[in-house]
């Protein structure tokens, strides 16, 4: 089994890249990570937008080198990793959950601001465990002033959980003295209440951490 971004998002990312959009601009427009965009558009010729840089301006050499190296490293990583088979994807999901897990017994919970990570977790959870979709819940941590309706629509599409199963969001008051950037769609919490599922997931975590591996 392989894990890749949605085809529609990939096609749109490639179109925007061909128009001269930067990786960050595309990531912001599509609500995906910059690393995913970099992989999707790595073979798309890029010419900086004249509207952004001016009719005679050119991208600073160090920025161009940085972007080129990031694209090259992403391509190298993708080639080395390849398409995940079923066992590898199971282990990848277990490792992801091990770093983000809820410590509450009976509750499988994963929280992140990165839609690719949240999507991967949801795909993994549904693939390897018997899930009652009616028990899936999503909660949002979103700063005041950001669009709650857009955020719920975004995370519903990412998680596959209908908005009727979203919990009341937590609206944080932004502190201008500490926080200078905001996640437009906030932080997403995916929760699944089931003691049996949670204990099986934690069994996989313990098995992974105690597994033998071949040193490089």
Structure tokens at 197: 């599922």
Of 59, 81, 103, which residue constitutes the final position of a domain? 81
pLDDT of 119-169, one tens digit each? 999 999 999 999 999 999 999 999 888 899 999 999 999 999 999 999 999
Does residue 138 form part of some domain? Answer: yes
Instruction: Yes or no: say if 46 and 71 are a contact pair by the CB < 8 Å rule.
Output: no
Are residues 190 and 109 part of one domain?
Answer: yes
Question: Which tens digits make up the pLDDT trace of 74-129?
Answer: 888 888 888 889 999 999 999 999 987 666 788 999 999 999 999 999 999 999 99
Answer whether 152's CB lies under 8 Å from 140's CB: yes
Q: Same structural domain for residues 22 and 95?
A: no
- Give the 3-state secondary structure of residue 138: strand
pLDDT digits (tens, 9 = 90+) for 20-32: 888 888 888 888 8
Residue 119 lies in a domain: yes
> Same domain for 66 and 93?
no
Question: What is the per-residue pLDDT for 66?
Answer: 84
Looking at residue 14, its pLDDT comes to 87
How far apart are the C-alpha atoms of 202 and 97, rounded to whole Å? 9
Looking at the fold, whether 109 and 142 belong to one and the same domain comes out as yes
- In this structure, the answer to whether residues 57 and 136 fall within a common structural domain is no
Rg, the chain, Cα only = 20
Out of 46, 81, 116, a domain closes at 81
pLDDT of residue 165: 97
The full 3-state SS of 57-81, as one line of letters, equals CCCCHHHHHHHHHHHHHHHHHHHHH
Residue after which a domain boundary falls, among 36, 51, 81? 81
* 215 lies in some domain: no
Query: Considering its fold, how many domains does the chain have in total?
Result: 2
d(C-alpha 177, C-alpha 21), whole Å = 31
* Dihedral in degrees, nearest 10, Cα atoms 18, 24, 28, 34: 100
Give the global pTM: 0.70
CA-based nearest residue to 192, from 168, 157, 167: 167
Six token digits for residue 180: 């200078």
Look up tokens 């009976």; give the residue. 106
The encoded tokens of residue 137 equal 């819940």
The Cα 53–Cα 23 span in angstroms is 15
Residue 192 shares a structural domain with residue 141: yes
Angle between helices 86-100 and 195-210 (to 10 degrees): 100
Mark whether 96 and 67 lie in a shared domain: no
Q: Strand pairing of 107-112 and 170-172?
A: unpaired
Q: In this structure, what token pair is assigned to residue 163?
A: 């908005």
Which residues constitute the domain of residue 125? 86-210
Please list, in sequence order, all residues whose beta carbon lies within 8 angstroms of the beta carbon of residue 97, skipping any fewer than 6 positions away. 108, 110, 121, 124, 201, 205
């Amino acid at each position: 089994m392989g894990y890749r971004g949605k085809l529609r998002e990939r096609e749109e990312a490639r179109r925007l890249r061909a128009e001269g959009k930067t990786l960050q601009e595309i990531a912001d427009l599509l609500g995906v990570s910059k690393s995913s965009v970099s992989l999707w558009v790595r073979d798309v010729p890029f010419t900086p937008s004249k509207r952004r840089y001016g009719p005679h301006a050119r991208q600073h050499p160090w920025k161009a080198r940085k972007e080129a190296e990031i694209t090259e490293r992403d391509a190298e990583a993708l080639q080395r990793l390849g398409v995940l088979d079923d066992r590898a994807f199971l282990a990848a999901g277990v490792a992801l959950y091990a770093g983000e897990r809820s410590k509450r017994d009976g509750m499988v919970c994963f929280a992140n601001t990165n839609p690719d990570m949240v999507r991967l977790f949801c795909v993994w959870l549904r693939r390897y465990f018997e899930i009652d979709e009616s028990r899936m819940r999503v909660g949002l941590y979103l700063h005041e002033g950001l669009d709650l309706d857009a955020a719920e629509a975004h995370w519903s599409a990412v998680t596959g959980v209908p908005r009727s199963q979203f919990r009341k969001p937590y609206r944080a008051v932004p502190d201008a003295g500490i926080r200078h950037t905001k996640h437009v769609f906030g932080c997403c919490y995916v929760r699944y209440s089931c003691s049996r599922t949670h204990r099986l997931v934690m069994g996989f975590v313990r098995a992974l951490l105690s597994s033998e591996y071949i040193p490089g």
